[in-house]
Homo-oligomer: A and B are copies of this chain.
Amino acid sequence: GTEPVFILGPCVIESEDFIWDIAEKLGTMAQQHGWRWVFKASYDKANRSAISSYRGLGCEAGCKLLAQIGAKLGVPVTTDVHTVEEAKQAAEHIDLLQIPAFLCRQTDLIVAAGETGRTVNVKKGQFMAPWDVKNIADKLVASGCQNFMFTERGTTFGYNNLVADMRSLYWMRELGYRAVMDATHSVQRPGGLGTATGGDGKLAPVLARAAVATGCDGVFMETHPDPAKAFSDGPNQIPLSQIAEVVETLRKIHGLVRDIS
Contacts and interface: CB of A to CB of B under 8 A. Distances in A.
Copies in the complex: 4
A156 interface: yes
A107 B51 contact: yes
A184 to B, nearest CB: 13
A172 B260 CA distance: 29
A144 to B, nearest CB: 12
Contact of A257 (B50, B126, B249, B261): B249
Given A170-B203, A261-B209, A161 B158 contact: yes
B127 A190 contact: yes
Nearest to A209: B213
Interface stretch (A70-78, A87-95, A134-142): A134-142
A103 B46 CA distance: 11
A50 B135 contact: yes
Given A158-B158, A159-B161, A214-B210, A256 B260 contact: no
12 contacts: A50-B139, A51-B138, A103-B106, A129-B160, A132-B191, A157-B165, A158-B159, A158-B161, A164-B166, A164-B167, A209-B257, A210-B214
Interface of A: 46-51, 55, 82-83, 102-103, 105-108, 111, 125-132, 135, 138-139, 142, 155-161, 163-167, 170, 187, 190-191, 195, 200, 203, 206-207, 209-215, 249, 252-253, 256-257, 260-261
